[in-house]
């Protein structure tokens, strides 16, 4: 029997689950916590990232009593991110998509590049809370953040960075941003450039299932869990839910309910056209 750890982070709460795989799959909740929020110096609604990591350390410490474990995987909600500076530190707390800094940004982006490009160069729904409009808000409201930024890390990648020190972007979470070209499988660099978003902050994109690194030695000692591998799984929480859904026939649909509910189907290729744009459909990686 092999045992794994799954850190599943939602915008309301997070939990660490132990997963045992033998003839059957069994799960056990080890630790659950409310996702902490905080107002920053700019009066923005943020995720209290240091407290999130404190909760993760508590969870791993509890898990150490029932190990050993093969690996730890992390998934979170989409859209939100942190910016890392040259020293490896967070520039500001990650701002929540529930903050109002994106109000009016979809309209501003449409004026800058045209509504069509926003959808056709990413495949994403035109949703004002998407990462692309959060980044446009930084470009127009707090450009000093870009002046300091070396890397952009979406929430699951930011957690893995805190655990391992490794920098990368996982594919499924990148595809939620509105700045990843799902048709050509690359960052939508021209779109970012034309919105005033610096290209150097985008990191290498890795496939789900990639070993991101090993838990930092200081965290191994602090938690007692040892040199556990940390995995960039299907790190968008919806992508993880869909992957686990037994879609038994072509055209089977899923409903994934969390902070909000999503209805969709699995396709081999993205569909990006006038209909998907006008009906506000989105293409997200799996």
Q: Counting beta carbons within 10 angstroms of the beta carbon of residue 231, is it exposed (0 to 12), middle (13 to 18) or buried (19 or more)?
A: buried
Is 81:161 a contact under the CB 8 Å cutoff? no
**Comparing C-alpha atoms, which of 105, 56, 98, 107 is closest to residue 79?**
98
Helices H / strands E in the chain, number of each: 11, 16
- Given the residues 8, 75, 157, 237, select the one marked as catalytic: 237
252: CB partners within 8 A, 6+ apart: 265, 266
- Tokens read off for 60: 């791993």
Q: Counting beta carbons within 10 angstroms of the beta carbon of residue 145, is it exposed (0 to 12), middle (13 to 18) or buried (19 or more)?
A: middle
Compute φ and ψ for 46, nearest 5 degrees.
-125, 165
- 237 catalytic residue (yes or no): yes
Segment (H or E) for 131: helix 131-141
In this structure, the number of other CB atoms found within 10 A of the CB of residue 6 comes to 19
Q: Tokens 């929480």 correspond to what residue?
A: 237
Question: At 95, is the secondary structure helix, strand, or coil?
Answer: strand
The CA-to-CA distance between both ends of the chain, in Å, stands at 27
CA distance 265 to 225: 38
Annotated catalytic sites, by residue? Answer: 237
């Amino acid at each position: 029997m092999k045992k794994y750890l799954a850190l599943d982070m939602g915008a309301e709460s997070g939990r660490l689950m132990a997963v045992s795989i033998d003839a059957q799959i069994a799960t056990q909740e080890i630790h659950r916590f409310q996702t902490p929020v905080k107002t920053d110096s700019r009066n923005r609604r943020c995720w209290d990232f240091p407290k999130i990591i404190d909760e993760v350390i508590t969870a791993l410490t509890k898990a150490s009593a029932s190990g050993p474990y093969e690996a730890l995987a992390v998934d979170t909600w989409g859209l939100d991110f942190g910016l890392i500076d040259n020293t490896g530190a967070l520039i500001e707390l990650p701002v929540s998509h529930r903050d109002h800094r994106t109000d009016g940004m979809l309209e501003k982006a449409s004026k800058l590049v045209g509504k069509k490009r926003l959808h056709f160069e990413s495949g994403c729904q035109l949703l004002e809370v998407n990462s692309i409009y959060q980044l446009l808000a930084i470009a127009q409201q707090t450009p000093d953040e870009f002046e300091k930024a070396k890397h952009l890390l979406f929430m699951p990648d930011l957690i893995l960075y805190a655990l391992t020190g490794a920098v990368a972007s996982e594919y499924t979470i990148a595809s939620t941003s509105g700045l990843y070209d799902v048709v050509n499988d690359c960052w939508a660099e021209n779109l970012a450039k034309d919105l005033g978003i610096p290209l150097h902050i985008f990191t290498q994109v890795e496939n789900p299932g990639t070993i991101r690194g090993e838990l930092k030695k200081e965290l191994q000692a602090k938690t007692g869990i040892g040199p556990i591998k940390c995995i960039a799984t299907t790190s968008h929480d919806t992508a993880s839910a869909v992957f686990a859904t037994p879609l038994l026939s072509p055209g089977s649909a899923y409903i994934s309910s969390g902070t909000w509910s999503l209805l969709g189907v699995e396709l081999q290729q993205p569909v990006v056209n006038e209909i998907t744009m006008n009906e506000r459909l989105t293409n997200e990686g799996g």
